[in-house]
Each structure stands twice: as structure tokens, then as C-alpha cells.
Structure 1
Amino acid sequence: MFPLLFEPIRIGTLESRNRILMPSLGTLFSMDQKLNERHYRFYERRAEGGAGVIVAGPVGVDFLGAGAICLSLRDDAYIPDFRHLADRVHGKGAKLMVQLFHGGRYTFSFFIDGQQALAPSAVKSRYTGETPREMTLEEIEQVQDAFAQAARRAREAGIDGVEIIGSAGYLISQFLSPVTNKRTDAYGGSFENRARFAIETIRKVRAAVGDDYTVTMRVPGNDFVAGGNTNDDIARFCQLFEQAGIDAFNVTGGWHEAFVSQLTMEVPRGGYAYLAGGIRRAVKVPVIASNRITDPFTAERILKEGFADMVALGRVLVADPDWPTKAREGRPEEIRPCVGCMQGCMDRIFTGQPLCCLVNAEAGLEGERRIPKAARPKKVMVVGSGAGGMEAARVAALAGHEVDLYEKAPRLGGQLRIAGAPPGRKEFLSLVEYYEAALARAGVRIHSGVAVDVESVRRIAPDVVIVAEGAEPIVPAIPGIDLPHVITSWELLAKDPPLGRRVAVIGGGAVGLETALQVAKIGTINAETLEFLMFNRAETDEKLHELLRRGSKEVTVFEMLSRVGQDVGKSSRWVLMQELKERNVRIVTDARVEAIEPDGIRYVQQGEAKREPFDTVIVAVGSKAVRRLSDELAAAGIPHKTVGDCNAPRKIIDAVHEGYLAALDL
């Protein structure tokens, strides 16, 4: 089904059983720079699932470049633990590499005991908000030697290869870019001088490990930073790095401070493969494509069309470690999809919490969480088919219980269908499709279009009831809320009603902002028309950009607080805010709506009464738990479990994990 994806490939002296590489990604499974059982199980599970190569890390080469948040190979004392990791990964048939890491100006001072980070030049970091110290020539040599010694330790540990990180805006990227490299010595200025640090580092690493060992490099396909390196620039650098001894290039997107999203669901599947293609045309060694390669059809296409020789699957393998096996066996419909939400990975890392996953409640807890077979199977009734209800039904059935799932709507999905309705959010619908297929395979009996009350529970007489009623939109007591031109955000997403030209959105949380964005996209040019106009050069670039950004609606968001989007994850908020700005969505903060009138709204902002005209008003002030059945069951003395938003409206990740745990506790 995917013949190219499962061809073996040689990278230097390393031979992979397929074209699937799991790249390094932060886990925060430890804060002492050491591997532990949690790491071993995490990587071992991905190897067991069929990945060809696993890149563990990031692995700091010294303290100032990583601090306590990364693993480390800065001392021989770390070798035994990495040898054990290699044995665990090799035991499942995969090859193991480690990513050698130095953050440069991206290193927070509080991770390195309050010391100042090192960088090519003293250019303030937008990522940390701090200004680094310019490296001396002696420090440059010390860091290069640290890379080399870390590589030597990796080889001694039985690891199959090392990857030097030159991407994402970390130290090597900082030397390569004229934005962050303002040096006037041999390491700055000209193209060749900016490449010098990386080339010397590669040569020292190669000298430390020998020619019969795999050394690769992760590079940005484009910095996506104003004044930074383009894809053509990176391709030229890669030619020099290949000559210095690099065996393959893993091509990712831009820097952490890039002006365009790299990993969120707004990025099209395989959307950055073209960057790998630009590098592949310039070098003779294998090239690996990265970022949002979520399904095997996209992965196979990237290989078939010549963009890359391998594909990197990071968060995809967090979501489903068995992705490679399912694809190889022709079962792609069984793959649990990464939806690009960032809720369990990036958002948690940014807040100092260990990695987990919205769709996979076992991720990061391999060995601790598993689905055992029930000693005494029970008759389980699950009410509600949102994320929590479907996960509870799936897990209970896999544990051997007899499961019936009831949903009052005609289709499964609950709020997932609403979440997946706006443009750019359709990945949530892929999760619904996954659950529909998974429930059918597990033998769950589906009863859609069936409302459940206490009497029906008594009649069915299950051993266990799991209630996942979900939530419903809050309708505030504002005068005029019942006027015909007033709708809720849920009604907009579910029914797609006609809207007037001037649209007010009341509520500046995640739902309100995504609602505003959906409305702002109405009347913009579609992809087919854009391709036609671009190919024929029918309009200027400026005009095409305007047609993409400007729709037919004038949208204003009203928020009571001083800041909007406070419930949006850090890794996604800036993307959302940037697009709202680009689409000319007006945001009014510190505004309390007093009344809705037939042709406008009245509100108070910082004590001043104001009025503005609007044709349509959309209410998006949040949701409240629905506990009707739960309360009735409690009153009747019928034991039951509750999961998801009927406990309290939160995120999808909370519903999925609660559903998983509830089903284990039967």
C-alpha cells in the first residue's frame, strides 16, 4: 500500500528498516539531565511500533547551552544510561541516534543558574526576552569541542549516530543568520564566515567519531524570520556541510520566533515538504522531510514526488506509536491521528510539564497506563459521544466489557464536530472518524438518535453507567439576547446561518476568537481560484494577498477582560492572534455589553457608555456543564461515573483522559 515508505535506506553507516524517522522532541520526563525509566519506555514503545530510526533528545553538549531541561552527554558518567537506552531501542528493531543540542540565545537564564546565555552576538532574544553574551573565540572552541566529545560518548554508548541541531533558531542557526550574527571576525559577516562555526563543529565531530559513523544535521528549510536565511541560502549552507562530513539532512521549518506557524493544525498536511525538496536538489546525501506529515498517504506522496528520501514523524508517533505497523500492514484507517492541537505536547512543555497527548492517554506514561483485560466483564452503558464518551466506550470494549454507546444526536462526535467546523480546524473531524472506526472494530453497539433518561437506564439495567453529557453554550441575561439576529457560536458552527455584513462577537475567549476568524474568512478567495490567478499572473501579489485576507464581513470582538484569548495555549495563541490581525478583525477589550438592539449593541468601556451598529450578533461567552442525567441518576440512587465537560467545561484533552481512566476503573 505504501511501498516507498517501507523500503530500507542507508544513512552513512546506519541502515534503517524503513523511511520513518522519529525526530527529537522535548519531553521534560526529567529535570536532572538524566535518562530514566519513563524515557526508556517512551522510546522503546515507538521502536516497538515500527519506527526505523529514533532520534532521542535534545541532548545538551554543555550546561550553558541546555541547562537542566535537556538530557546530557557532557560527561562520561552519562554513557551507561544511554547504552541502556540503545539496548532497549535495538531490542525492538529500530536504530537509535541522539540530537546534540546547544540553545545559544534561546537558553533561559533560570535554566542555567541565572547565568547569561551565550550566542554569536549580543542580540536580544524574542523567545526568552533576554540578551545573551557574545562568545569569545575561546568559548567558540570550547563549545565545538563539547559537540565532539558528546558525539564520542554517543558512539561509546552503542548509539548508531548523532544529529547536530542547526535548526529552529538554536546556536548554529544563530551563527548562520545575519539577523543574529553581527560579528566582525572570522565567524561573522560573509556567507562563508557565518558558516565557519558549523563547518568546524562538523569536522570536529567527524574527527571524534571517525568516518565509519553516522553524523546528520537538522536544518531549517527557511528561517521564516525577516532578514534571515531563505531556502536557497540553507541549500548553499548544506552543500558546505555535506563537504564537511554530514551524511543526511533533516529539514524542518523555521525558527521558534518565525512569523508563520510550523506545527499547528493550520499548517496543511505535508505543507513544508517543499523545503526539503529545495535542499534535496542541492545535495547528494539523503534528505528527511518534517512538519505535519500526519498520515501515510501524505508520507508516501512526499517520497514519490521526490521531495525527500525519508519522513520525520514526531508528534504523530506520540499520538500513535503503532503508526508504522498499521501503515505497513495496510490498516491506515486504524491510525490514531495527531490533530496538531499542541495541548499535550508544546503547551505543556512551555508551562514546565512533561509531555502527554490529547488523543493518546498513554503517551509519556507507557508501562504505567495500559488496558488490561477485565477479570469479570461488565455490561457498560455510555451516554454521550463526545471525545470523553467515545474514549470511555473504546477503552471499556478493549478491556473486554460489553459496551453500548448512546447519543441523542443523529451522528457521533458531540462537540468535536463543532470544534472541527471552522476552516483550518478540520483535524478534529479526523478524530471523530478514527473513533467511529475504532468503536466498530471494538464491537461497541451504537445507538444514535436516542435520548437517555433515568427510566431507560433502569430498563436497560447496565452494571455501569458512564455519563458524558458534555456542555451547552452560556446565554447571558443581556436585554435583546432573544432578538432574531442574535445567535450562539454553536449555532453558527452547526447550522451555518446567513449573516449580515457587520458582525459582533461577544466573548474573546478561544471560542469567540475562532468564531470571529471563521466569520472573517467568509467571502475570501478559494484555493482553486487562487491557483488559477497565480499561475496565469492575472493579479499582483499584493492583490492576491488582499483577496486571501479580506472577506465580505466586518467583524468586531467584544471582551470584558483586558486581554483576549487567555484560555488559548501558548503555542497556538500567537498564530490565532496574528491571523485575526491579518484579517482585520477588530478587538475591543474592557467592554461590558449592556444591551443588544435590533440594529446594534450598547456597551460600557472603562466607564464610558458607547453604541455601535451591527447586523448580526454572535454570543460566544463560554459554556456550562450539562448534568441533567447525572443529577437524575444521583437523585435516584443509581451509581454512575461522569467524564468530560459535564464535570466542568475544559479542553478536549481533559475529556479524553477522563474517559480513558473511567473505563479502566470499572
Structure 2
Amino acid sequence: MTSTLSELAEKHAALFQPGRIGRMALKNRFVQSPIFTQYAEVDGYAGPRLIEYFRERARGGVGLLITENTSVDWQVGRTVGHPIRIDHDRYRSGLADLVEAVHNEGAKIAVQLHHTGRQNSQGNTEGNVPPIAPTAGITSAFGTAPRAIELEEIPGLINLYAQGARRAKEVGFDAVELHGAHGYLLGQFLSPKTNKRTDGYGGSLENRARFALEVVQAVREQVGPDFPVLYRLSVEEPYEGGLSLEDGLAFCQMLEKYVDALDVSAGNYDTADVLLPMVPPGNLLHYAKEVKKRVSVPVIGVGRLVWLLDELNNDVAAGELDFVAMGRAGLADPAIVEKTRRGDTSNIRRCLAVNECISRWMFNGQHTQCVINPALSQEKRAAEARRLAVLAKRVLIVGAGPAGCEAAILAAERGHEVTLVEREQEIGGQLRAWSAAEVLNKEISTFLEFYRAELQRTGVEVRLGTEITEADMNGYDKVLLATGTKSSGAPKGAVDAVQMLADRRAPESQEVTVHGDTETAMFAALWLAEQGRKVTLSSPSADVGLDTNDMQRNHLNGLLAVRNVTVITDQPAPASGTVVWAQDRAASDVMAAAVDGDRVHSIGTRFRGGRMYEATQSGFWAAAEV
């Protein structure tokens, strides 16, 4: 329900109060935290795609934006792919354009200075040389064995950060942030797991902290006493031999006199489930609150916080936290802050945290994308797509899954008269199935509420429980068939997993075999276990969840273990017992004969295959062509 502005002003008053980081005045307490996008040019230049991405998020109302991991050492210290770079003056013009774009939207921007250290691969370095680290040979979750940094190299490394900070100030950035979190170079010196040095930069906490403190001091010398310097850190590495919380908190106190704010996270890529939380919201927030108890400088909290704005408002009002950072949430909806300010909370695309965005660059070398935001990384093109159509048309969309809903909303925004027809009694399509298990119930249910609110806002006529015939399509200028997929290859008597989950109707048998190597198979097994069934997940392949990303697969496997689901691989289809079929699906052929590529089109997974990402992309961009 939409709140009045006066109600909202009271509900989220603390979050919308101005704040300060050093001498930098911010209009509210919201921060767009850094997320690697690969939107920079191949050589690291800040080009149009990156600038439009930041411009859109600045326009959305956030007070401070922090760039992604911006390389101070392109030779051996850049993130895999093509991050932004600030290691040479030739990149100043693009960075200046980025700053100006954000400033023109009324926000402030900080650049995050970054060096990978050991979290890099030899193939990603110039000259195919090993990455560098405090200690040789200690590899990360990804990467190759690093060589040890020689003592005489340390001043040069420190200067890389200092010169990056100098350039940042000169091109107009409002602040710099040093990336000492998530297992990168600054954190590698601090961590006893990765720092086994026996010189003045290893051993005791004071020695392990020396490199980071010298970097901060060198940066301060370059930018002066009044330029804001932030430090992002993992205050704990929750694995054997990693940085302890006690040492992390002590390090924060060492930093306090040199920095203007602490951006508090935890973990590294060896503990990705902590670093990139999937559930529950706010699982990193206690770290920021512990830091806040010990320092006087502002503290920024992170960790799926878009779900906790009411609680966070109270935290900020009570002085337990100063700023609220949102990363993946800002990918899903760049206008979160402005919508929250207006009270349009039902119209926010809330991040599902399935980590498809992160996995695209981490494992596949692709641009960061979002399964629920088809405009991400295409902000300028999407703005053009939303312009009013020259000629309003009568548009029929058949199927109210994600493709159909996206198409209906955009077509209506563009001024078309849109009717959305769905044979079931609810919108959502396969989303209704994915929302059955507890793991994504809240997230998917909320996303369906978003679609309902947007369909209402844009004036789409929604007809539920309605079957369409070819004759019913007469009288429409354009027909988009978004009927998705259907079960394929199931043996006689098998239960279709998608239909079972959507209907929330479990087989009567107390022992059930789910057969499939898909993410849907994992959802089905989880839901059946939640209903008290004894479940075996039988995969025809060597693994399960082959159509999802590694992080989601690992997360779901952990939940299957908790639910005592037996997983067996390389199995043929079961010949007996109660079987739930969850293998790959075939494209729907509803009214296939009517598809002419002119007036009648197939869209969504029916047209291009795939899953949710392909559905939302296809639905949105198909409507842009109407």
C-alpha cells in the first residue's frame, strides 16, 4: 500500500536526513555500494555504458555512489576482465565525465582504489606473470599461485594507491575508498591466513596492519586533510586461520585517526556465502554495529538491506549505524531510494539474491546482468524504449509469467491499450512454482506483488482464468504469445514438477523421487521435504542444478542437505515409485499456427528458451518494438 508523504517522512525520517563523511555533505543516508560490472571499455576506460549505469543510479536518489573496484595496478592487480582503471593520467577524461554525470543528478561519487593481490590469475596479468601477494603460494578460491612481494617493492605499491587518489581528486571525485575487504591486497596483508611474512609487515597484528596504514597515510598526503577517505574492510574472515573479529575491530581503531568513514563487510571469495549473502537479509549488519561501538567516524553497513529499511531507520536514529549501502539491490532497481521516499514501496523491484549478476562476470566473463531488471547495462536504450509510441495500438498478451508481465507493463507505459490474459487464476507463470519452497518464497512473492502493482499503475486490463482461442485474437493490432514452456519427456504417471509447485499439491506417497538435473528439480525436492516427504533427488547428469549459477547451486545443495534430501547422480529415469519430473522443458506450442512474425509473435522462453533472465529480457524488448 502506498503511504502518504507525511507518513513516510516519519517512517523513514532518519534515512532521509542529511549526513556527512568528513567534509562531504550527503543528502541522505543511502550509499550505492561498489559492484563489479564489466561496463568499462576493454582497456579500462570509463565509457558511455558505465556512465549511463551510474547516471541512472544517481538519478534514483542515492546520496553517495562508490565505483566498482578501480584498478591502481593494471599490470598484475586488476580484476579479471575489464574493470575501470585509474593507474595512468590518460584515463582522466573518462573518469571526469563519470563524475560530471553523477553530479548533474545531485549525488556524490567516490572512487574505490583496488588491487587484487593473490585473488587473480596469471592469465589475467600483463606478460602472463604470476599475481603478487604478501606470501607466495597461497592461492584463493579462484586464481593461481602468487609470488611473494619483495620488501623493496612495497613503497612502489603504496605509491600506486597514492597516485590513484591524486588522480581521483584532480578529476573531481568527492572521496576515495580504499578496498581492504573481501580478500584483496590490503586485506591479505592484514590476514594471518595469507600473511606469513617474517619482516616488519608480518607476524603481530601491528605488523600485519602496517601496509594498509602506510597506504592510508600516503593517500592522505596526496589528497590533503579535508578530502574524504573511506576504508572498506572485511572485519572478520570466518574460516580457519582467517582474520578474527577481535583483530578486525582492533584494526578499525587503528584506522580511525586516518580515515573519514569505515565501510564494513566480512569474508572473502573463499567464504563467498558470507561475502555475497543469499539469505537472510542483514546477515552482515552486526559487523557494522560492532565497529560503530568502537569508533567515532561514520560507519556504513551492507548486506541485502533493501528488505530491512524500517529496521535500519531505527538503527540510524539510534546511532548504531550511519549509512546504509545497497549493492545488488541497486542493480535490480536503481530508483529504490526515490520510490521509498515517495512511498511507492510496492513498485520496487527487490533483489532476489540468486547471484546471477555476480556469477556472470565471475565465472563466465560476461557483463553483470539482473534476472529481474532487463534495463540493467542498457539504461540509455531502455529510456528510449519507454518513450510513447507514435501510434497507440490494441495489444493482446497471452500468458502472465515474467515475459508477459514485462511486455504488458512496458507496452502500456508506451501508450498502448493492453490486455493481459492468463489461463490460471493468478499471474506469475513459473514464478509461482519457484516461490513454493521457503528459500525464495518471500522474494518471489514480493516480486509478484511488484508485477500486480505495476500492472495496476499502467492500466493493463488483466483477465485471469481465461483461455484464448485464435478467434479471440481478432481485433488486436498486435498479439504476443508468452505462454512459456511445457513438460517434456516425462514417463507415464510422472508428476510435472512445475505444476506440482505452482498448485502446492504434493503426491500422497510419503517417499518421492524427483528426477532432473535442473534448478527446478532442486526447488521441487526442497518443497517436498518441507511437506514432510522422504525425498530422493535423482539426476541424469553428474551434477544437479546445471541451469543455474555455481553460487545458487551450492546454496541449494546446502539446503537439500539440511532437509535430508538424498542426492544421487548419473541415474536413468526411475522405473517405479512416485516420480516428480523436473527435466528440461519444451517450448509451448499454444496457437503456434497463428504465429506469423508480423501481427502475432512468440516471446519469452517460448521464443528463446532459457529461464527467468531470458523471459524478462524478451518480454521487455519485445514490447519496445510494438
User: TM-score range with shorter-chain normalisation?
Assistant: over 0.9
Aligned positions of 1:257-276 closer than 5 A: 257-258=270-271, 260-263=273-276, 266-276=278-288
Pairing 1:555–2:569 present: no
Deviation at 1:112, TM superposition (A): 0.8
Q: Distance in 1 between matches of 2:412 and 2:401?
A: 17
Deviation at 1:81, TM superposition (A): 2.0
Residue 262 of structure 2 is matched in structure 1 by: 249
Write the deviation string for residues 269-309 of structure 1: whole angstroms up to 9, x where unpaired: 22321111111111111111112112443542443455421
Q: Distance in 1 between matches of 2:317 and 2:432?
A: 33
Secondary structure, aligned partner of 1:249: strand
Change (3 A) 1:594 1:39: closer
Change (3 A) 1:554 1:253: farther
Deviation at 1:345, TM superposition (A): 4.4
Residue 566 of structure 1 is matched in structure 2 by: 546
Pairing 1:497–2:526 present: no
Deviation at 1:515, TM superposition (A): 2.2
Pairing 1:445–2:461 present: yes
Q: Distance in 1 between matches of 2:33 and 2:413?
A: 30
Secondary structure, aligned partner of 1:369: helix
Write the deviation string for residues 514-553 of structure 1: whole angstroms up to 9, x where unpaired: 322333445xxxxxxxxxxxxxxxxxxxxxxxxxxxxx65
Write the deviation string for residues 448-488 of structure 1: whole angstroms up to 9, x where unpaired: 11111112223xx11111111112233523xxx427xx663
Amino acid at match of 1:639: R
Residue 392 of structure 1 is matched in structure 2 by: 407
Aligned positions of 1:6-25 closer than 5 A: 6-25=16-35
Aligned residues of 2:113 and 2:179 also touching (Cα < 8 A): yes
Amino acid at match of 1:131: A
Aligned residues of 2:521 and 2:537 also touching (Cα < 8 A): yes
Pairing 1:107–2:87 present: no
Amino acid at match of 2:380: G
The answer to which of 643-652 and 100-109 deviates more is 643-652
Q: Distance in 2 between matches of 1:27 and 1:259?
A: 18
Q: Distance in 2 between matches of 1:307 and 1:277?
A: 6
Secondary structure, aligned partner of 2:331: helix
Deviation at 1:504, TM superposition (A): 2.1
Q: Distance in 2 between matches of 1:90 and 1:298?
A: 30
Deviation at 1:125, TM superposition (A): 2.1
Number of equivalenced pairs? 608
Q: Distance in 2 between matches of 1:499 and 1:508?
A: 23
Residue 445 of structure 2 is matched in structure 1 by: 429
Amino acid at match of 2:463: H
Amino acid at match of 1:656: T
Amino acid at match of 1:289: G
Amino acid at match of 1:227: G
Pairing 1:420–2:448 present: no
Deviation at 1:203, TM superposition (A): 0.9
Change (3 A) 1:177 1:110: same
Pairing 1:76–2:92 present: no
Amino acid at match of 1:642: S
Pairing 1:317–2:330 present: yes
Pairing 1:627–2:589 present: yes
Deviation at 1:168, TM superposition (A): 0.8
Deviation at 1:632, TM superposition (A): 3.7
Deviation at 1:225, TM superposition (A): 2.4
Q: Distance in 1 between matches of 2:318 and 2:601?
A: 50
Aligned residues of 1:216 and 1:247 also touching (Cα < 8 A): yes
Residue 3 of structure 2 is matched in structure 1 by: none
Amino acid at match of 1:384: G
Q: Distance in 2 between matches of 1:620 and 1:307?
A: 47
Change (3 A) 1:154 1:336: same
Q: Distance in 1 between matches of 2:390 and 2:540?
A: 53
Deviation at 1:586, TM superposition (A): 2.7
Change (3 A) 1:396 1:348: farther
Q: Distance in 2 between matches of 1:149 and 1:72?
A: 12
Deviation at 1:500, TM superposition (A): 4.8
Residue 647 of structure 1 is matched in structure 2 by: 607
Amino acid at match of 1:651: R
Taking every aligned residue pair, what percent have the same amino acid on both sides? 33
Pairing 1:408–2:423 present: yes
RMSD between aligned residues: 2.1
Deviation at 1:362, TM superposition (A): 1.6
Deviation at 1:626, TM superposition (A): 1.4
Deviation at 1:65, TM superposition (A): 0.9
Pairing 1:363–2:376 present: yes
Query: What's the TM-score once normalised by structure 1's chain length?
Result: 0.87
Pairing 1:98–2:111 present: yes
Q: Distance in 2 between matches of 1:19 and 1:247?
A: 15
Q: Distance in 1 between matches of 2:462 and 2:68?
A: 43
Residue 179 of structure 1 is matched in structure 2 by: 193
The answer to which of 509-518 and 37-46 deviates more is 509-518
Amino acid at match of 1:263: L
Aligned residues of 1:162 and 1:214 also touching (Cα < 8 A): yes
Aligned residues of 2:430 and 2:502 also touching (Cα < 8 A): no
- Return 5+ residue gaps in structure 1 as ranges: 523-551, 598-615
Q: Distance in 2 between matches of 1:594 and 1:385?
A: 33
Change (3 A) 1:268 1:20: same
Deviation at 1:126, TM superposition (A): 3.5
Q: Distance in 2 between matches of 1:462 and 1:79?
A: 53
Pairing 1:53–2:64 present: yes
Deviation at 1:51, TM superposition (A): 1.0
Aligned positions of 1:515-594 closer than 5 A: 515-522=524-531, 553-593=533-573
Amino acid at match of 1:53: L
Deviation at 1:207, TM superposition (A): 1.1
Secondary structure, aligned partner of 1:595: coil
Aligned residues of 2:122 and 2:143 also touching (Cα < 8 A): no
Q: Distance in 2 between matches of 1:14 and 1:259?
A: 32
Change (3 A) 1:556 1:239: same
Residue 579 of structure 2 is matched in structure 1 by: 617
Secondary structure, aligned partner of 2:421: strand
Amino acid at match of 1:435: Y
Change (3 A) 1:116 1:356: same
Residue 163 of structure 1 is matched in structure 2 by: 177
Aligned residues of 2:497 and 2:521 also touching (Cα < 8 A): no
Deviation at 1:499, TM superposition (A): 5.5
- Return 5+ residue gaps in structure 2 as ranges: 1-7
Q: Distance in 2 between matches of 1:590 and 1:420?
A: 28
Runs of 4+ in 1 over 6 A off after TM superposition: none
Q: Distance in 2 between matches of 1:490 and 1:177?
A: 49
Q: Distance in 1 between matches of 2:154 and 2:347?
A: 49
Aligned positions of 1:206-355 closer than 5 A: 206-243=220-257, 245-258=258-271, 260-263=273-276, 266-295=278-307, 296-304=309-317, 306-355=319-368
Q: Distance in 2 between matches of 1:297 and 1:496?
A: 35
Q: Distance in 2 between matches of 1:305 and 1:369?
A: 40
Amino acid at match of 2:417: E
Residue 603 of structure 1 is matched in structure 2 by: none
Secondary structure, aligned partner of 1:140: helix
Q: Distance in 2 between matches of 1:26 and 1:279?
A: 25
Q: Distance in 2 between matches of 1:336 and 1:364?
A: 16
Pairing 1:116–2:137 present: no
Deviation at 1:350, TM superposition (A): 2.9
Residue 5 of structure 1 is matched in structure 2 by: 15
Q: Distance in 1 between matches of 2:583 and 2:140?
A: 32
Residue 536 of structure 1 is matched in structure 2 by: none
Correspondent of 2:101 among 68, 88, 91:
88
Change (3 A) 1:488 1:161: closer
Change (3 A) 1:221 1:553: farther
